[in-house]
Structure 1
Amino acid sequence: MNHRFSNTLIGLLNLLTLLASIPIIAAGLKMAKNRTTCESFLQTPLMVIGFIILVISLAGFIGACFNVAWALWVYLFVMLLLTATLLAFTIFGFVVISEGGGVQVSGRVYKEYRLQDYSPWLRKRVEDPHYWRTIRTCILGSNTCAKLASWTPLDYLQKDLTPVQSGCCKPPTSCNYGAATMLAQDPDCYRWNNMPNLLCYECNSCKAGVLEDVRSNWHKLSVLNVVMVILLICIYSIGCCAYKNAKRSETDYPYGENRMKRVEPRWDFYWRRWWRDRRDFLY
């Protein structure tokens, strides 16, 4: 690849990613000042990603524009690690989200969700009491269920619900609360409470609804990750060309190494020179 083109292109790409890292870091700092529990989940990952992009882009920009070989070497090394990590994370994500999905309820538009349908790794996250308390606080703070307070029974027949609303804001549709009911029911039917701060927040259906929401968002993120991996591989290839160009520029010769190496004289050089000097002196 042409010397100027590869260096200019890698410099431009890193300038764009450098500028893109600024709003990411700003968003993380803003979340740090916000007391909303939901946003605090993204605070640390956003700031870490922002700073990594900032450092990598800065190294790549300096190395490409000023032909600093060591900066480009650091850039390429970190880029390789970042690409490998992102690829592993993407594969893991597709494996985790391969299980799950809702069950259509007869006569209703919305679906209901069962915790046992999701991968063990995801179930372990929401079954942890400490982790679930944080999520529960997040749902309460978002007023997700408050939006359904004015719904009529007809609305539940005609309108759709989000996974969280379906699992956390109402009991399972199969529940029967008649006085004469003697049949065994879903355990979530007994966890339901009409109190606005209780509802079905301790139900397995609520945890399943949260996992379905996570699964949906993770699927979108995994598709984006595939695009990012391809883009990073392309940028890495251009960066390799820029690194080779930076190494060449250190020799002040655009087509490769052109410095003469030191030549050591043969063993008889000094003897012959001494004999010539003596002969000239005598004659």
Structure 2
Amino acid sequence: MYRFSNTVIGFLNLFTLLSSIPIIGGGLWMARSSTTCESFLQTPFLVIGFVILIISLAGFIGACFNVAWALWVYLVVMLFLIGALMALTIFGFVVTSQGGGVEVPGRVYKEYLLNSYSPWLRKRLHDPHYWETIRSCILGSKTCDKIAYWTPIDYLQKDMSPIQSGCCKPPTSCNYVLATTVAQDPDCYRWNNAPNMLCYECDSCKAGVLESVRRDWHKLSVLNIVVLLFLISIYAIGCCAFRNTKRSETDYPYGENRMSKVKPRWDFHW
């Protein structure tokens, strides 16, 4: 039973080793894809896949074949991965703590304000090249085409995604009849009926993108907690496997006999 932890860590790493293959395949598929949105996740998918592959391979070899140095590398990298994942999870909760939609009277959907989001997220959109990439992604996804034929009744009864609410229509408060006499939201003047213009340069569109990012990141942070607990459990089992592997390299696989200096009984030599 002293190698039970080695068997468990071997099976767990075999499972994670096999699971890294579709992750790497997904990253390589994204690299060949022409869709702009999917290229955002290309590098993270490849990095995560290869890290899991290397760690799992080292842990599997070390646990099943009693290779102490492989288990040592496995534990060091696993400790680094746990620390990085913990820092990323905390950062994710801090970044996504701000934001959210504003209720619109008489409407089901919500509208979003750019200034309500964290400065770090807003700073990401200051780069014109970065925003042009996101804008091309929204155009390619044809998100606004889904509400292009809505009637006024639909706007009263149907919900919208954050990007549809911010990018596909002007703010609800806009009044184009009194546009020259009443001060309005600057986004009201950025709106254009052209299908390739709409409100893609509006602050409300950027806020809608940040809201989508905030929701996805919040879900990812919750998932990271589950993964973090799983990795900590595997790390604890890996420490036991490393100790067992070091023992098997000595003359005392069950632990050193610490009774060696005790004086033998009178009939021992008989």
Instruction: Report sequence identity in percent.
Output: 76
User: Which residue in 1 is equivalent to 2:161?
Assistant: 162
Are the aligned partners of 1:144 and 1:165 in contact in 2 as well (CA < 8 Å)? Answer: yes
Are the aligned partners of 2:36 and 2:136 in contact in 1 as well (CA < 8 Å)? Answer: yes
SS of residue in 1 equivalent to 2:153? helix
TM-aligned CA deviation for residue 216 of structure 1? 0.4
Counterparts of 2:120 and 2:6, CA distance in 1: 44
User: Which residue in 1 is equivalent to 2:143?
Assistant: 144
Counterparts of 1:173 and 1:39, CA distance in 2: 31
TM-aligned CA deviation for residue 127 of structure 1? 2.2
Between Structure 1 and Structure 2, how many residues are aligned? 257
TM-aligned CA deviation for residue 253 of structure 1? 2.6
TM-aligned CA deviation for residue 232 of structure 1? 0.8
Matches within 5 A, 1:27-66: 27-66=26-65
Q: Alpha carbons of 1:27 and 1:150: their partners in 2 closer, same or farther (altered >3 Å)?
A: same
Counterparts of 1:125 and 1:234, CA distance in 2: 36
Letter in 2 for 1:125: R
TM-aligned CA deviation for residue 3 of structure 1? 2.1
Higher-helix-fraction structure: 1
Return 5+ residue gaps in structure 1 as ranges: 259-283
User: Which residue in 2 is equivalent to 1:223?
Assistant: 222
**Structure 1 stretch 175-184 or stretch 119-128: which is displaced more?**
175-184
Matches within 5 A, 1:1-283: 2-178=1-177, 181-257=180-256
Letter in 2 for 1:111: K
SS of residue in 1 equivalent to 2:149? coil
Query: Considering only CA atoms, is the larger Rg found in Structure 1 or Structure 2?
Result: 1
CA RMSD of aligned residues (A): 1.0
Letter in 2 for 1:246: T
Q: Alpha carbons of 1:5 and 1:105: their partners in 2 closer, same or farther (altered >3 Å)?
A: same
Counterparts of 1:4 and 1:180, CA distance in 2: 78
Are the aligned partners of 1:3 and 1:245 in contact in 2 as well (CA < 8 Å)? Answer: yes
Give the TM-score normalised by the residue count of structure 1.
Answer: 0.89
TM-aligned CA deviation for residue 181 of structure 1? 4.2
Deviation by residue 1:116-162 (Cα, 9 ceiling, x = unmatched): 00000000011221110110010000000011111111101100000
SS of residue in 1 equivalent to 2:40? helix
Deviation by residue 1:224-251 (Cα, 9 ceiling, x = unmatched): 0011111111110000000001101111
Q: Alpha carbons of 1:181 and 1:207: their partners in 2 closer, same or farther (altered >3 Å)?
A: same
Letter in 1 for 2:151: T
TM-aligned CA deviation for residue 4 of structure 1? 2.0
Are the aligned partners of 1:3 and 1:242 in contact in 2 as well (CA < 8 Å)? Answer: no
**Structure 1 stretch 202-211 or stretch 245-254: which is displaced more?**
245-254
Letter in 1 for 2:30: M
Are the aligned partners of 1:108 and 1:158 in contact in 2 as well (CA < 8 Å)? Answer: yes
Are the aligned partners of 1:113 and 1:167 in contact in 2 as well (CA < 8 Å)? Answer: yes
TM-aligned CA deviation for residue 90 of structure 1? 0.3
